[in-house]
Chains A and B, each alone.
Chain A
Amino acid sequence: MNRVMHAVAPLAPFTAAALAAALLFAAFLAAQGFEAPEALGLVVEGAFGSAFAWQNTLARAAPLMLTALCVALPARAGLVIIGGEGALALGALAAAMVPSLTAGWPALPVQLLMALAGFVAGGAWIAASAWLRHVRGINETISSLLLSYIGIALFNFLVEGVLRDPASLNKPSTPPLPEAVLIGLLPGLEVHWGLVWGVLACTAAWFLLRRTVFGFSVGVVGGNPRVALMAGLPVGTLLIAACFLGGGAAGVAGMLEVAAVHGSANASLLAGYGYAGILVSFAARHNPLGIVAGAILVGGIGASGSLLQRRLDLPDAAVLVLQGALFVALLAFETLNRKGVRRV
């Protein structure tokens, strides 16, 4: 019984926050003369109401799991990183470059190399924030978002410049990937294999943080850096490693968007998964297994957007309002948690 309470208790503030966010959203819509109860119903229907809705939700959840890890892994080390969008962009770009260098190779090594390229590019970008924090003491929240803007500028510069496929006239893109290296759909579903990658990555991250010496050391650094220094832990290396792994996950999200959704790197990749991932990680209280559930929830909100647009003529930003309300409510209900909360 105690164990059950222990497992369920943290969900109570979350449920309260979700209800509060739904009420806030409904009041916001009602104030503008929209049918608020119908809108809430449509969110549920558009997210989880049918097989089609579920597939749409899961397809969105896949990159969100990876971009949320970009927040959760550094959070374990006590860093608040919000630059996942830039890591995703650069990961996508690096991955999109691989096939042109590996012409004639079989598909699997190319795909693995693409994932590796995305991982390294995204990881390096976020690790830079940790490095700046450690060496110069720069606040990593601000620097990661600035680096994200710089990464997106670099992405646009290269995609519209030297890396542009001359055949992409209206929408500047990198050359399309060869058919063979595209990542396909799960058998019988309209959801690509990225979902499996996302779940595996979250499981691996959970294992790494909760069951290894590395994860324990990162947790000590996040809990109290002075204790970590006194214990002789390599604080800087751990900070940089946690951020590298997190940024790498966001970079792989970019690689998946290229290889499984868009078929090349172009501006439609930048759909805000990096920002929504921040909400996912906070909703999961930075627990990698919780992220799987959080990503499905936030992915569902995103998936309901087109239904809200079609049936009620709501702007597409309606999902951003609901996500924002959820984020605010989650933090407000943090105060009800009886257990001490991590600094992050």
Chain B
Amino acid sequence: MSETTDGLAFGSLALALLGGALRVSTPFLFVSLGECITEKSGRINLGLEGTLVLGAMGGYGVSLLTGSPWLGVLAAGLCGVLMGLLHGGLCSLPKVNDIAVGIALMLFGTGLAFFLGKPLIQPQAPMLPSVELGAWSDDEQIRSALRINVLLPVGLALAGLLHWAFRASRWGLALRLVGDNAAAARALGYPVVPIRIGATAAGGFLAGVGGAFLSLYYPGSWNEGLSSGQGLMAVALVIFARWNPLRCALAALLFGAAGALGPALQSQGITAGYYLFNAAPYVLTLALMAASWTPGQTLAGAPGELSFTQR
């Protein structure tokens, strides 16, 4: 008797985790794809946490003003482009370190978002629509688990597209060349600095869109506690995924599931370690980094110009 109830509880916990993974993974997916583009060009942008928060605020504000959440997504992306251009431009100056600029932009972006977002805390902006993948089922739990947001399929398609582009397209190969060996790229006549700035801006766009998801779908409001490290974890996730967009998508789903652990257990009535379960994604990130990083060796697949993967 108790076995069946345990089985039921486990089943609904697994369902809640699946639903959570599908729901929570989107910002990880977009930020990690963006960071993947940037790092392929040989630079790391740690400031995507700030970009994510600024994008969330900008997207929410524009959706509120125009009534269109899609314009909000676009605005969030443009916020990200501006942050990316700032990062890319600053890092192109001699003696300016990309990690330090990333830290500065993390603080700057969050500050800007908190300042400009003050009037947005109360009003309710139009939200992004969802797609009912579970319409076939009568079970409300299954339907709610499979109710996904429109950005998720877009992001998954983008992961596939990037995977193809990095291998087979002209600009993808140029980007990788710049990231692997800047001197060779220069010798072949590729403009290294503009390509890097462009890659950082593109990465910023995607991180901004990830932010729009936070404010326009789930949790679906603007407040100052909206992001707590998703942007930074996505940067770590790219390393775990070895700079491969398809693996980024898989890793994002895994992180989504870890992020959903706290709320899922809470929905099952387990509230004791709420804060601890919420820390699960951070612990998972550390564990995955420890598992994927071998000391004394350059990581397989790491862009050659990426300074921080080498000792």
Contact = CB atoms under 8 A, between A and B. Distances in A.
B107 A153 contact: no
A130 interface: no
Q: Is the interface of A mostly helix, strand, loop or mixed?
A: helix
Given A149-B228, A156-B275, A327-B107, A135 B295 contact: yes
A156 B308 CA distance: 32
Nearest to B262: A153
Nearest to B273: A157
A245 to B, nearest CB: 21
A293 interface: no
A318 B286 contact: no
B104 A225 contact: no
B111 A320 contact: yes
Contacts of B293: 136-138
Contacts of B99: 80, 141
Interface residues on A, range: 35 or more
Interface string B88-107: 00100111110111011101
Contact of B229 (A136, A146, A157, A341): A146
A344 B233 CA distance: 22
Contacts of B104: 279, 282, 324, 327-328, 330-331
A217 interface: no
Interface string A3-29: 000000000000000000000000000
B165 interface: no
Contact of A275 (B100, B107, B118, B308): B107
A137 B235 CA distance: 16
Nearest to B87: A328
Most B CB within 10 A of own CB, among A136, A137, A279: A137
A332 B90 contact: yes
Interface in A257-286: 275, 278-279, 282
B12 interface: no
A137 B294 contact: yes
B58 to A, nearest CB: 14
A320 B290 contact: no
A132 B99 CA distance: 19
B110 A157 contact: no
Contact of B46 (A141, A275, A325, A327): A141
A106 B38 CA distance: 58
A324 B108 contact: yes
A337 B95 contact: yes
Interface in A145-160: 145-147, 149-150, 153-154, 156-157, 160
B111 A321 contact: yes
Interface string B276-293: 101100110110011001
B95 A341 contact: yes
B295 A137 contact: yes
A149 B282 contact: yes
A80 B308 CA distance: 11
A278 B286 contact: no
B279 A149 contact: yes
A334 B109 contact: no
A331 B90 contact: yes
Contacts of B108: 321, 324-325, 327-328
Contacts of A325: 108
A335 B311 contact: no
Nearest to B90: A332
Nearest to B89: A332
Contact of A315 (B103, B109, B115, B278): B115
A139 interface: yes
Nearest to A322: B111
A159 to B, nearest CB: 9
B114 A315 contact: yes
Contact of A153 (B46, B235, B236, B275): B275
B110 to A, nearest CB: 7
B123 interface: no
Contact of B279 (A82, A154, A275, A331): A154
B280 to A, nearest CB: 9
Nearest to A315: B118
Contacts of B283: 150
B269 interface: no
B311 A137 contact: yes
Interface in A221-260: 225
A328 B311 contact: no
Nearest to A139: B308
Contacts of B232: 142, 145-146
A143 B286 CA distance: 7
B97 A344 contact: yes
B296 interface: yes
B295 A146 contact: no
Contacts of A334: 93, 95-97
A149 B227 CA distance: 12
A317 B233 contact: no
A173 interface: no
Contacts of A156: 275
15 contacts: A137-B297, A139-B289, A142-B232, A146-B286, A153-B276, A314-B115, A315-B118, A317-B111, A320-B111, A321-B115, A323-B107, A330-B104, A331-B90, A334-B93, A344-B97
10 pairs of A and B residues whose beta carbons are closest in the complex: A324-B108, A320-B111, A317-B114, A137-B295, A153-B279, A157-B275, A327-B104, A335-B93, A317-B115, A315-B118
Given A141-B99, A335-B94, 5 more contacts: A132-B286, A160-B275, A317-B111, A320-B107, A321-B112
